[in-house]
Structure 1
Amino acid sequence: MHHNLITFNDLTDEELIRFVQNQDEAAFAELMSRYSPRIWRVIIANSRQRRDAEEILMDTWMAVWENIGGLRKVSSFNGWLRRIAYNACNRYYTSSHRSRSETPQSRAELIEHIDREAAPRFREAQLHADVKEAVQQLPQRVRPTAVLYYLESWSIKEIAEELDLAIGTVKTKLRETRELLREEFDMAPKKGETMSSESVHLNKPNMSEDVYYIPAMDQTQSNREAALWGLPNDALVRFGRGAINAMALSPDGKQLALGTDIGLWWYEVATLSPIALWRTNCKRISAIAFSASGEWIATGHEDGSVKVWDVRQANCFTQVERQAHRLCKKINQLIFSPDSKHLAANGHFDYMVDVWNPETGVQVAKFGDAELRFQACWEKHPIAFSQDSQLIVCASPPDDAKRLGTGFWSIAPERDVISVSDVANGKRVASLTEYTEFLYALSFSPCGNFLVASSDGEESSILTVWDTEDWQVQKEERIYGGNQLIPTYSTAGTMQVAAVSDTEVTVWDTTCHEKLNTYHTPYGDETRRWSFNGTQFALATTHELSVWTIGDHEPRTVSYNSHPDYISSLAFSADGETLVTGYPFPEGTFRCWDVVTHSQTPHVFKLSGEKHCLYVSASGQLHTTSVEGNTIKVRKFGNDTPITECRIKERPQYLAVAFSDTAQLIAYGDSEKNLYVWDIPRQEIINTFTVPESNAAFIAFSPNGKYLASGQEMGAYRLWDLACGEEIHAFHSHKIEHIAFSPCGNVIAGEMEKAFIFWDIESSKTLLTIPKPEEYAYWWQGGIVFSPCGLYLATGLDRVEGMASARIKLWNTTTGENVATFEGHLTTPILSLAFSPDGTLLASSGYDGTILLWDTKSIVNSY
């Protein structure tokens, strides 16, 4: 079915879900856009790295696509989705997708790890698969209850409500299910063993929309001016330049291009300072490639679009779009052929490679099967052209790969086959079937006589070299270490390889097996790239940028802290001169930005522990909490010495924490759906609350310390009265997803599906209702905050299809009037908002890793 996406904006969630249940991909794209911000905070709270979180988000939506047809009660979609997201987090860290930081590094540790865990894991996986198959084969009279109970971990009460059955009837059906499964397995499974699950469009873009910024004269001026490039109207300054998603060195070695969520940054290699920013007017950049001459640069984007730019003219002259399933559209790899006549790209989760003429945008070839969506490793499949531009090499599935049934996944390979094809006629020239690993990198030698490939391994990757005359293996080495190897050839024909491990990147000369250089990357957050001719190696992290030229004794390095990941917390200092931002990755990182000078070099704090939170007290003082073992520690921001500690009996897997400086209280939740309130002076628990639905994921005290709000993984916020030790039930009935306490603490601003409400806690009455703008009626927002005077409410709105950016709206809390609208972050929804203590500045952050400052002085003074 084909639809204009904009038409779906007018549908209610329930109407949209009905379309998706009929496998309408356009409706599914709209549903993802609406709900991704809602489940993203659930996933972030339960993830250890951004890369993990992004993979879990994709896992979640794939499970939705496969299972939404069985959702009987559409009105329960929100809770159903959150349950899938929560279970996806649990499965991720109990499966082979665990963060690499948990994988033993030494050979001895690896052997011990395998001996201890491999066999049980295999048996468990087999049992899960058998259970799923058996449940699906149960008689129809009991199958629906069994699926919900055993495969999706629903409670008996939830099943009764979902299927409109009496609780006793559900129990009877489950007893019958157990008897049937005992006959099958001679045992009954445990609850909670959850299973989850083309034509080219040409478009000549409007050149004036792609903005180019003139280089500054020196590094200091460059950094200062870069903070003003590409600012939305009314924004004063930008802190940060966006998280780095892709990187490429120009063929002449003079420029470095960095692809981010906000555009394409250009750095001068000689000084490693920014010289330009190009706005691409697409979703975030996910891949970059230079043509051999450096005349053109191509950018690939998350929405499947590919743009080709003239570097000297700084304009886009060709745009194409990769036609694929919504979840596969993201451009993973881009590469020009050496003669620049072809541009190849591949995407996410499939084996398709598209080849275009970069000047005209005409598709000249397509390799692979669009229906083969693989359930395997998450790394990017590489592409390579031969030096004469006649051959293209890419990954393809082996013939013995497991074929899956209906659903999003169609194939589950255990390795890759390397396919060599003729670009002109599309025929396969060779298939390197002896390859036994997942493919990570490919490169041809300058003479064209050799092809090198590297694998993505858990301990030590394999480097394999073939002779292109007869396609026989010439060399195979596993001596460089590293989880991943990135090989390249110099123009002289010598091969270097970068070996990437969790904490360092080592560059080797493969001829003499000599280490040439080592970069330390303790957080594993680096982006790395060889130059076109193999003479330079660039590496970028959130805190520094390095470019090393082969032969130089040391790399050229600059510390900048300008490309951090997205922000989890945001607060001004008491004097309003410093803006503090907290980051989930790396864990415990905080940056302090100078609001007065607009310096782009923040002061960085790294705190111990995990699950860090940032709080602003009623007096404006900043505090942090962290979890260290079985202890919650509270510190004044910037001070390593805790001012108080709270011991917890047992550390749950996921723990929500809140602190009130006013009331001297700490709140935390456990894995049994309980909330505890700890009195710091008395050193004892004074309140215990039980959350009906699920564990508390987000909790916050009111500024006066009288109330505690808790948000669940599944369900709306609840409000608790600490004085009487009871829930204020009237609040929960409003089904509020995001909240903000007024400065006095007696009023809550909450976001519902179609409106914002102001709710008086003492009277349990709604004081004011502000309907959402029509275009946002079914969109949930990410940021909501009162001004210090309490007279205004700022809300961050998502970027809706057809809008240039995510918007920030200011509302008069007395009349409900929209007193100001700011055009916010270009590519991502608003995540956090914070007012300065005097209310004259508003800071906003998005998933793009940047912070924008807005001048609200005229608004505050005029009302």
Structure 2
Amino acid sequence: MKVKTTFLFTLMLLIVLCVSICPGFAQDMAYTQLSLPEGAKARLGKGSVGEVMYSPDGSLLAVGSNIGIWLYDAKTFQELALFAGQMDWVYSLSFSPDGKTLASGGGDMDCTVRLWDVGTGGVKATLTGHLGGVKSLSFTPDSTTLAAGSNTTVFMWDVATGAVKAELTGHTSHVYCVSFSPDGNTLASGSWDTTVFMWDVATGAVKAKLSGHTAAVNSVLFSPDGNTLVSVSRSGKNHTVFMWDVAAGSVKAKLTGHTSKIGSVLFSPDGKTLVSTSQGEEDHAIFFWDVVTGALKTKLAGHIGSANTVLFSPDGKTLASRSPDGEVHLWDVATSSVKARLDMDRVRSLSFSPDGKTLASANTDGQVHLWNVATGSVKRALTGYRGWVRRVSFNPDGAILAGVNYYNGEVILWDVTAGSVKAKLTRPTGEVRRVAFSPDGTTLAGVTWNPKDYGDYDYKVFLWDVATGKRKRILDTGGRIRRIAFSPDGTVLASVSYDSEVRLWDVETGVLKTELGEHKGEVRSVAFSPDGKTLASGSRDAGDDAVLLWDAATGDLKVKLAGHTGSVYSVSFSSDGKTIASGDAWPDYKVLLWDVATGAIKAKHTGHIGSVYSVSFSSDGKTLASRSRDRTVILWE
């Protein structure tokens, strides 16, 4: 029985238009079912967490990510909807004060502002004109005007018509933050040019230019009474919060105490407290300041990484904070304790069990989960090991799951039934980058790498005896290895590397049998057909040479599968050998299903917004899993 293995992905980006779901209809629906693309039956993982924002009445919490905007019930913390369609990361969010509209700003590959109807989840308008990612958004108090900051320009939009009301120029670098005064007459903007501008909303004229920061300004905010403007720098050595007198345009106070760069600032709804966040390697605290005295009231700690964004609930009783560790914390302000954590899973690797009923996933939070494929629910979390696992692979009978530690390359074997660690394999010199079981389950192959000279590495394939954990053999493969795959009978191991070659190795002797060299670019993926007669390889050769099918016995090229517009990072055969799936990178991020006999495209799946790094069929061929750079897994019919 063939076991599909999966591998690491690195970054993110781009395209697909999904159907939005009305929040009112989503309350009893699992998040895995929200806003699915056509042909999909579940989505595992929520992407990477971005901006967070409460609705004005405090009933909703919006969380931006690289796959869309997740909408939560702020009391139950239940996922209500996923607003999908932005063609890149959601850089910024803002609810209109009347709560009817949610604005989202796209990243550098999107550069648009979308206005969402909160009640229906539909797109009311798409605002274009920015030349870079939209870093900040702010509505006027009457909800009629939206300000958006990007490159060196601030746009003010008419919310009702989607027309540009004004284009404010004056900054000499990217505008990182914008904020309207409570009366709506003044707009503040902060830039990477270290300045803060205050603009007259009616005329578009500059009212004041505030100088004093020594680094990029990443947050500006008016106090609820409009008399004070707070600004902080993205970096710099003084780690100071500036408080400005709006009428005079002068500094009122400087708040000191941070030992690292300051992330964001926020006034409490009553204006008596100012919150600021630290973004240092060691200092991850959230500071509470007394606005009148400038004294430090308290510090909150709990995030693994820095708290990039904070916001109060409208009643001021709850503070939400989000960080790069993939979590949103909800704090009880009165007790300084965590009320809830919203888990934004970030999937790094996956593997189907041989019977197709279970899918294993490894997340960046160090957890390994077993999912029920039929229901999309978590069956269990595997325990007994602490560390970031980046590779997982089932053995042929599904009783053992192998994982690889991200940092030290340690190989862990879990007993799937017990959910506990079965063994840790003797580590070779260097890190293990990926693993694959032989078809009979007795051997585990692992790709290792050792640093040699600067920027150069020595790659080898280690073969372990699964029963004893002892090393059986080492294959000296030379160049950087991308993927490995056993033939169905276990006698041949295929490896692909950066040098555009596909190599076939004799597993028993360790001797190189043949090299297949028709690809022009780096070969990224390889897979044997279930009968072992055909070998598929995918490469960075976009177009006709992206996927090649080889005669495994003779090494002859059988056919070229033409249809991809981007690099092919993954290939996989169905269990009957009649269909092959391939996943590609920019610009389409699609999955194609091919008829092996004819070479024709059978189906096309779109829905990821990042490169597809892994595709894998269930053993019955009814489900295809695809894992993407967008940090999600989609299960397709």
TM-score bucket of the superposed structures, by smaller chain: 0.7 to 0.9
Supply the distance in 2 between the matched residues of 1:632 and 1:615 (Cα, whole angstroms).
14
Change (3 A) 1:308 1:235: closer
Partner of 2:555: 764
Change (3 A) 1:469 1:528: closer
Partner of 1:322: 129
Q: Any conservation in 1 of the 2:268–2:275 contact (CA below 8 Å)?
A: no
| Equivalences for residues 128-139 of structure 1 within 5 A | none
SS of structure 2 residue aligned to 1:271: coil
Change (3 A) 1:647 1:312: closer
1:360 aligns with 2:140: no
Q: Any conservation in 2 of the 1:828–1:847 contact (CA below 8 Å)?
A: yes
Change (3 A) 1:553 1:519: closer
Give the structure-1-normalised TM-score: 0.62
- Which residue of 357, 367, 377 maps to 1:577? 357
Q: Any conservation in 1 of the 2:58–2:315 contact (CA below 8 Å)?
A: no
1:812 aligns with 2:602: no
SS of structure 2 residue aligned to 1:789: coil
Partner of 1:383: 178
SS of structure 1 residue aligned to 2:423: coil
Change (3 A) 1:725 1:799: closer
2:158 partner letter: N
Q: Any conservation in 2 of the 1:794–1:809 contact (CA below 8 Å)?
A: yes
- Which residue of 135, 139, 151 maps to 1:332? 135
Supply the distance in 1 between the matched residues of 2:609 and 2:314 (Cα, whole angstroms).
30
| Equivalences for residues 403-422 of structure 1 within 5 A | 416-422=194-200
Supply the distance in 2 between the matched residues of 1:617 and 1:314 (Cα, whole angstroms).
43
1:796 aligns with 2:583: yes
Give the structure-2-normalised TM-score: 0.82
- Which residue of 100, 105, 111 maps to 1:300? 105
Change (3 A) 1:525 1:663: farther
CA shift, 1:271, in A, is 1.0
Partner of 2:478: 690
Supply the distance in 1 between the matched residues of 2:287 and 2:390 (Cα, whole angstroms).
35
| Equivalences for residues 87-126 of structure 1 within 5 A | none
CA shift, 1:596, in A, is 3.6
Supply the distance in 2 between the matched residues of 1:368 and 1:782 (Cα, whole angstroms).
43
Change (3 A) 1:210 1:644: closer
2:616 partner letter: A
Size of the aligned set, in residue pairs, is 602
2:164 partner letter: Q
Change (3 A) 1:438 1:634: same
SS of structure 2 residue aligned to 1:788: coil
SS of structure 2 residue aligned to 1:323: coil
Deviations 1:89-135 (A, max 9, x none): xxxxxxxxxxxxxxxxxxxxxxxxxxxxxxxxxxxxxxxxxxxxxxx
1:488 aligns with 2:273: no
- Which residue of 192, 212, 215 maps to 2:21? 212
Higher helix share: 1
Partner of 2:4: none
Q: Any conservation in 2 of the 1:342–1:358 contact (CA below 8 Å)?
A: yes
Partner of 1:750: 537
**Structure 1 regions of 5+ residues with no counterpart?**
1-40, 45-52, 59-207, 375-379, 399-415, 856-863
Q: Any conservation in 2 of the 1:482–1:499 contact (CA below 8 Å)?
A: no
Deviations 1:511-564 (A, max 9, x none): 4745556351225587543457866421346775443464466453155x4x32
SS of structure 2 residue aligned to 1:626: strand
| Equivalences for residues 505-524 of structure 1 within 5 A | 505-511=285-291, 513=295, 515-516=297-298, 518-524=300-306
Higher strand share: 2
Supply the distance in 1 between the matched residues of 2:561 and 2:64 (Cα, whole angstroms).
38
Change (3 A) 1:851 1:506: same
**Structure 2 regions of 5+ residues with no counterpart?**
1-6
Supply the distance in 2 between the matched residues of 1:330 and 1:474 (Cα, whole angstroms).
33
Partner of 1:145: none
Give me the identity figure in percent.
23
Q: Any conservation in 1 of the 2:288–2:296 contact (CA below 8 Å)?
A: yes
Change (3 A) 1:317 1:667: closer
SS of structure 2 residue aligned to 1:442: strand
Partner of 2:462: 678
CA shift, 1:760, in A, is 2.4
CA shift, 1:274, in A, is 1.9
CA shift, 1:497, in A, is 0.8
Change (3 A) 1:283 1:359: same
Deviations 1:338-373 (A, max 9, x none): 3334312223xx332222222222223323469x56
| Equivalences for residues 538-557 of structure 1 within 5 A | 538-540=320-322, 545-548=328-331, 550-551=333-334, 554-557=337-340
1:825 aligns with 2:615: no
Supply the distance in 2 between the matched residues of 1:842 and 1:557 (Cα, whole angstroms).
34
- Which has the higher mean CA deviation after the structures are superposed, 544-553 or 479-488? 544-553
1:846 aligns with 2:628: yes
Deviations 1:263-284 (A, max 9, x none): 3332111111122333446444
Partner of 2:59: 254
Supply the distance in 2 between the matched residues of 1:241 and 1:234 (Cα, whole angstroms).
19
CA shift, 1:477, in A, is 2.0
CA shift, 1:210, in A, is 6.1
Supply the distance in 1 between the matched residues of 2:204 and 2:585 (Cα, whole angstroms).
43
SS of structure 1 residue aligned to 2:516: helix
2:517 partner letter: H
- Which residue of 416, 435, 439 maps to 1:658? 435
Q: Any conservation in 1 of the 2:331–2:339 contact (CA below 8 Å)?
A: yes
Change (3 A) 1:441 1:809: same
Supply the distance in 1 between the matched residues of 2:450 and 2:315 (Cα, whole angstroms).
55
1:250 partner letter: S
Q: Any conservation in 1 of the 2:139–2:147 contact (CA below 8 Å)?
A: yes
Q: Any conservation in 2 of the 1:485–1:497 contact (CA below 8 Å)?
A: no
Supply the distance in 2 between the matched residues of 1:629 and 1:249 (Cα, whole angstroms).
36
Change (3 A) 1:571 1:746: same
Q: Any conservation in 1 of the 2:497–2:524 contact (CA below 8 Å)?
A: no
CA shift, 1:826, in A, is 5.0
Supply the distance in 2 between the matched residues of 1:471 and 1:785 (Cα, whole angstroms).
63
2:623 partner letter: L
Deviations 1:547-590 (A, max 9, x none): 3464466453155x4x322x33221224433211123x34x442
CA shift, 1:311, in A, is 3.0
Partner of 2:208: 430
CA shift, 1:659, in A, is 4.6
In the TM superposition, structure 1's runs of 4+ consecutive aligned residues that sit over 6 Å from their partners are 628-631
Deviations 1:394-413 (A, max 9, x none): 23465xxxxxxxxxxxxxxx
1:645 aligns with 2:440: no
Deviations 1:233-280 (A, max 9, x none): 333333334433222101111111122344333211111112233344
| Equivalences for residues 454-469 of structure 1 within 5 A | 454-457=232-235, 461-469=239-247
Deviations 1:440-473 (A, max 9, x none): 2211112222111123348883211111222222
Structure number with the bigger relative contact order (C-alpha 8 A, sep ≥ 6) is: 2
Supply the distance in 2 between the matched residues of 1:216 and 1:317 (Cα, whole angstroms).
19
Supply the distance in 2 between the matched residues of 1:634 and 1:602 (Cα, whole angstroms).
17
1:784 aligns with 2:571: yes
Deviations 1:814-844 (A, max 9, x none): 343444x253415344332222233332222
